[in-house]
Amino acid sequence: MASNSQSQHLQIRPHVKLHCVVQGHVEGPVILFSNSLSTNLHSWDSFVERLSSQPRFSQYCIVRYDHRGHGESPVETDEPCNFDLLAEDVALLLDHLQIARLNTFVGVSMGAATAAYFAARYPERVERTVIADVLTHGPLNCSPDPFEQRILLANTDGGRPLMEETLPRWFPNPQFLEKRPDVRLSIGNQILSTPVRGFTNAVRALQKFDLRPLLPKLKGSQVLIIVGELDGALTTTMRQLSDTVPGSKYVLIKGAGHLPFIDGEDQFLQAISDLMKQESV
């Protein structure tokens, strides 16, 4: 089928509508991208453009979506959010799109936790899983908890203090944002445009999630663990996570921070390409 790009808003639950963009060959193998807290599917724009321009990916279908409460995915309920629910959101989205099985699920940060929960809960629906830059468990299972302060920042001055706190934390190399004002503008605007309720509900899920019981269940899919070299303690955490997941591969993205598909785009693209060369399970 000819290549195309289509934006859709799908009512997956009575009070939850998910925005997604489907592009490429809709009958081809499917790659799904899931974004971080406070961003939306447009955070992947540059990376997906690079990926889809490569001849070996010309026959793939690429799907991106906004988490509930982010981007153009409104939530009309105060139902407590957790990652079992977010994984089920993905399953319902795929059902609406008539996608039975993913070739690859790529998630970063909050999206990585969603990918891990999805792979553990629906192993028959995913071949490969990419888990990038995420804790193994939320801060309610340890201390200290940084999220309460971030909720306060999100509720102050239209969220601008949260944006100013987040950007240098996500992109620790100051020269990157100096050279890429487009990234500062795009990601900054995504942070500012994330509704406080959507942000807060997602934070509540992040505070209490726990990947550790799920890790042994991920052995049924090919797992790639990725982390930005400058993403603080997560470099150690992700290495330990890789050691726990049977058969997984670990890739350190040199010079990158919390969103390595942006400030380490070339290396991230190479890691994904290498994973896709492996035999399907």
pLDDT in tens, 28-58: 999 999 999 999 999 999 999 999 999 989 8
How far from each other are the two terminal CA atoms of the chain, in whole angstroms? Answer: 25
Q: The domain at 4-276 falls in which architecture?
A: 3-Layer(aba) Sandwich (3.40)
pTM of the model: 0.94
Q: How many CA atoms lie within 13 A of 159 on its CB side?
A: 19
Neighbours of 242 (CB within 10 A): 20
Residues whose CB falls within 8 Å of the CB of residue 129, separated by 6 or more in sequence, listed in order = 104, 105, 107, 115, 116, 118, 119, 218, 221, 222, 223, 224
Taking the domains of the chain in order of start, what are their residue ranges? 4-276
Write down the pLDDT at residue 159.
Answer: 76
Provide the percentage of residues in the chain whose pLDDT is more than 70.
95
Helical axes 265-276 vs 45-52, angle rounded to 10° = 50
Q: How far is CA 146 from CA 22, 186, 195, 214, 259, in A?
A: 35, 24, 19, 24, 19
Cβ-count burial of 4 within 10 angstroms (0-12 exposed, 13-18 middle, 19+ buried)? exposed
Residue 192: closest CA among 87, 70, 107, 102: 70
Write down the pLDDT at residue 195.
Answer: 92
Region 190-200 average pLDDT: 93
Q: How far is CA 224 from CA 44, 136, 189, 199, 227, in A?
A: 18, 15, 30, 27, 10
Lowest mean pLDDT among 80-94, 153-167, 196-210: 153-167
Categorize the per-residue pLDDT at 124 as very low, low, confident or very high, splitting at 50, 70 and 90: very high
Write down the pLDDT at residue 180.
Answer: 97
Write down the pLDDT at residue 153.
Answer: 78
Residue 64: closest CA among 27, 83, 100, 36: 36
d(CA 209, CA 247): 23
In 3-state terms, what secondary structure has residue 61?
strand
